[in-house]
Amino acid sequence: MLKKVFSKALLSVVMDKKARSTLDAAKQRAKTAPQAATPEALPASAEELRVAARQALESAEKELASKPKLTGERKALIQQALAVRKQKTKILDELGPDQKIKLQAMALEAFGLDPTKGGR
């Protein structure tokens, strides 16, 4: 009780009335929010574990079967993208430490971040 009185008094000094009412509303929403669902109990026996694993495998197989197959054009595009990525990482690996730092600073500036603060 005493803690609540001191807390309200301190909040009245630090926060204005609108901020206090917003804080109170947030606390009320947190109280009325549904609790997280409790995780299901693990199967007790080895047979139940096998059945659960089999069901999970079957549902995964159904999900994979329902997805469209990879076309030749899409496969070629993916292979091309992987090759380009490999070439670019090879180029970055060949850079010296000073060049990497300069490149990182240029990238941060390009994205509008402060390079002196590590991008923050």
Are 115 and 108 in contact by the 8 Å Cβ rule? The answer is yes
Residue 84 pLDDT: 96
Are 115 and 105 in contact by the 8 Å Cβ rule? The answer is yes
User: What confidence category does residue 119 fall into, taking pLDDT thresholds of 50, 70 and 90?
Assistant: low
Domain segments of the chain: what residues?
Answer: 71-120
pTM of the model: 0.34
Q: How many CB atoms are closer than 10 A to CB 67? A: 7
